[in-house]
C-alpha cells in the first residue's frame, strides 16, 4: 500500500507542476456601488464588451497557444479602504496577472502601493492625479494627468471665453479635485487672469450655498468646479438660485450621462475638458461606440472608453510578452508605442503616464457637444 503511494508520487508532482493555464485572469477594481456607481457601471459594460470580443476570437495569443481571458470585477465602492481590500483579494486570492483600476485617484492611490509591492502591473483608466504613477514601476494609466487638464481649462477660459476673473469651488477631501483646482488657479493666474474666490467643501456635503454666496459677492466671470458628476449639477443649481451668472467649467469628472439627468437645463452652456468625444472622427472609436450603443443602449462615456483601452493595452502586452507572467507583461506595457485606442494613441515614454491630447466639450440641450481639441 505504502509502496504503491510512493510510486504514484512522482506522477502527482508532475501533474501539479504542469501549468493548468486554461484561462488568463485579469482583475478589475471599479465603484459599482456608492456615489459614483454610474462610472462603475460604464466600466462593467466596457469590460463585458472586451471579454466577449477577445474570447469570440478564441482568446489572447500567449506564446504558441490561444488562452481565453476572464476578467474578475470587484466593487471598491469608491472608498480607498475598500480599494485596498479589493486589490489584496485580486492579487492573493484570485491570483490575477494584472489589474485594471481603480477609477478615482483617491482609490488608485490606495490600491497602487499594494500592486507595486506584489509586482502586479496596473492600468488605471480614469485616475488623473499625478501621484498615482509617481515613483512606481508597475502602475500605468490610460488617461492624461491633471496638470495638463488644468492647463487646458485655464487656457480655454482665458483665450476662448476671454475671462479676466475666475473662482473655484472644490472638494478638499479628494485628491483629484484638489490637484486640478490648484493647477487651474496657478495656470489661470499665469495667463493673466485673477482668481477672486477659492472655496472648498468636504465629500458628501450637499449644501454649498454659503460658499457660493461668498463667490457671488466676488462676481467672477467663470466658476471652475473640478468635481464629480453627482455633485456638479447641484452646485450649479444652487449657484443659479443664488443669482450667480458665471459660466461654469469642469474637468473629466463631469463626464457621465447622470450629469444632465440630475441637472437638466442648468447644465446647458457650460464646458468641461475630457478624454474623448463621441463626435471625434476615429475609426476605432466609431466601432466601439456603435457596439456599445447596440448592446447597452447608451453613448459610452470617457470612463467606458478608457476602460476599453486599458483592457486592450493589457491584452496587447500579454501577447507581446508571449507568456502569462506579470513581470513580462509590465515590461511589455512600458514598451508600448503608438497603441491605437478609442481615446487616441498611447505611448509610454518611460513612466506610466501616456502623452495624450484632450478635448473641450460643451453641454447643449442636455447633450455633450465637441467644442475643440487641445494637444500637448
Partner 1 sequence: MDTIIQQLFNAAQLGAVYALIALGYSMVYGIIRLINFAHGDIFMLGGFIGLLLTTRFGWMPFYLLLPLAMLLTALVGVAIERVAYRRLRNAQRMSVVITTLGVGIFLENLVRLTVGPETRQIPARLPSAPVVWLQQHLGAFVTWDKLLIILISLALMAILWLVVNRTLIGTAMRAVADNKDAVPLMGVNLNLVIAVTFAIGSALAAAGGIFYGQAYSIDPYMGIDLGWKAFIAAVIGGIGSIEGAVLGSFLLAGVEVITVAYLSSNLKNGIAFGLLILLLLVWPWGIMGKPTLKKV
Residue number, 45 or 343, with CB nearest to partner 1: 45
Binder of partner 1 out of 21, 25, 33, 351 (CB under 8 A) = 33
Distance between CA atoms of 297 and 281, rounded to whole angstroms?
Answer: 21
Residues 204, 119: Cα–Cα separation, whole Å? 34
Tell which one of 79, 106, 185, 216 touches partner 1 (CB under 8 A): 216
By CB under 8 A, is residue 207 in contact with partner 1?
Answer: yes
Binding mask 162-181 for partner 1 (x = CB under 8 A): ----------x---------
Query: CA triplet 242, 229, 362: central angle to 5 degrees?
Result: 80
Q: Which is nearer to partner 1, 78 or 187 (CB)?
A: 78
211 binds partner 1 (CB under 8 A): yes
User: What does the alpha-carbon distance between residue 32 and residue 52 come to, in Å, rounded to a whole number?
Assistant: 20
C-alpha to C-alpha distance for 330 and 98, rounded to whole angstroms: 9
Question: Per rule CB under 8 A, is residue 210 in the interface with partner 1?
Answer: yes
Instruction: Count interface residues toward partner 1 (CB under 8 A).
Output: 31
Min. distance of Cβ 296 from partner 1 in angstroms?
Answer: 17
- Closer to partner 1 by Cβ: residue 8 or 210: 210
Nearest to 261 by CA among 232, 296, 221: 232
Backbone angles phi, psi at 268, to 5 degrees: -60, 140
Which stretch, 63-71, 159-167, 237-245, 339-347, contacts partner 1 (CB under 8 A)? Answer: 237-245
Q: Are 138 and 122 in contact (CB under 8 A)?
A: yes
Give the nearer residue to partner 1 in terms of CB position, either 252 or 258.
Answer: 258
Among 35, 61, 88, 131, binds partner 1 (CB under 8 A): 35
* Residue of 209, 298, 349, 364 that binds partner 1 (CB under 8 A): 209
Binding mask 181-200 for partner 1 (x = CB under 8 A): ------------------xx
Closest contact distance (angstroms) between CB of 286 and partner 1 is: 30
Among 76, 146, 175, 231, binds partner 1 (CB under 8 A): 231
User: Is 316 an interacting residue with respect to partner 1 (CB under 8 A)?
Assistant: no
For partner 1, the binding residues in 257-286 under the rule CB under 8 A are 258, 262
The verdict on 201 binding partner 1 (CB under 8 A) reads yes
Q: Using CB under 8 A, which of 217, 287, 322, 376 touches partner 1?
A: 217
The residue within the footprint of partner 1, chosen from 202, 297, 337, 365 (CB under 8 A), is: 202
Chain positions contacting partner 1, by CB under 8 A: 33-35, 37-38, 172, 199-202, 204, 206-207, 209-211, 213-214, 216-217, 219, 230-231, 234, 237-238, 241-243, 258, 262
Amino acid at each position: 500500500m505504502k509502496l504503491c503511494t510512493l510510486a504514484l508520487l512522482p506522477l502527482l508532482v508532475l501533474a501539479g507542476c504542469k501549468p493548468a493555464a486554461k484561462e488568463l485572469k485579469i482583475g478589475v477594481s471599479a465603484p459599482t456601488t456608492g456615489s459614483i456607481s454610474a462610472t462603475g457601471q460604464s466600466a462593467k459594460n466596457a469590460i463585458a464588451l472586451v471579454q466577449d470580443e477577445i474570447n469570440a476570437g478564441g482568446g489572447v495569443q500567449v506564446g504558441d497557444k490561444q488562452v481565453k481571458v476572464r476578467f474578475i470585477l470587484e466593487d471598491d465602492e469608491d472608498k480607498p479602504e475598500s480599494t485596498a481590500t479589493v486589490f489584496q483579494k485580486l492579487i492573493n486570492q484570485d491570483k490575477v496577472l494584472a489589474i485594471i483600476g481603480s477609477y478615482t485617484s483617491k482609490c488608485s492611490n490606495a490600491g497602487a502601493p499594494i500592486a507595486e509591492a506584489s509586482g502586479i502591473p496596473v492600468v488605471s483608466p480614469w485616475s488623473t492625479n499625478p501621484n498615482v504613477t509617481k515613483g512606481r514601476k508597475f502602475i500605468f494609466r490610460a488617461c492624461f494627468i491633471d496638470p495638463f487638464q488644468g492647463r487646458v481649462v485655464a487656457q480655454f477660459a482665458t483665450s476662448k471665453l476671454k475671462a479676466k476673473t475666475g473662482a473655484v469651488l472644490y472638494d478638499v477631501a479628494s485628491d483629484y479635485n484638489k490637484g486640478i483646482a490648484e493647477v487651474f488657479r496657478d495656470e489661470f493666474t499665469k495667463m493673466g487672469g485673477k482668481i477672486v474666490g477659492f472655496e472648498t467643501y468636504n465629500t458628501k456635503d450637499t449644501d454649498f450655498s454659503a460658499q457660493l454666496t461668498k463667490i457671488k459677492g466676488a462676481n467672477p466671470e467663470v466658476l471652475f468646479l473640478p468635481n464629480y458628476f453627482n455633485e456638479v449639477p447641484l452646485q450649479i443649481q444652487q449657484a443659479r438660485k443664488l443669482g450667480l451668472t458665471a459660466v461654469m467649467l469642469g474637468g473629466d469628472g463631469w463626464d457621465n450621462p447622470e450629469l444632465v439627468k440630475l441637472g437638466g437645463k442648468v447644465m446647458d452652456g457650460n464646458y468641461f475638458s475630457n478624454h474623448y468625444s463621441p463626435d471625434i472622427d476615429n475609426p476605432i472609436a466609431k466601432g466601439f461606440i456603435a457596439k456599445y450603443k447596440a448592446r447597452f443602449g447608451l453613448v459610452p462615456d470617457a470612463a467606458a472608453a478608457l476602460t476599453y483601452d486599458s483592457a486592450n493595452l493589457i491584452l496587447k502586452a500579454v501577447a507581446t510578452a508571449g507568456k502569462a507572467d506579470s513581470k513580462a507583461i509590465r515590461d511589455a506595457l512600458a514598451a508600448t508605442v503608438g497603441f491605437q485606442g478609442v481615446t487616441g494613441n498611447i505611448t509610454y515614454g518611460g513612466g506610466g503616464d501616456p502623452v495624450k491630447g484632450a478635448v473641450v466639450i460643451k453641454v447643449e440641450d442636455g447633450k455633450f457637444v465637441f467644442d475643440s481639441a487641445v494637444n500637448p
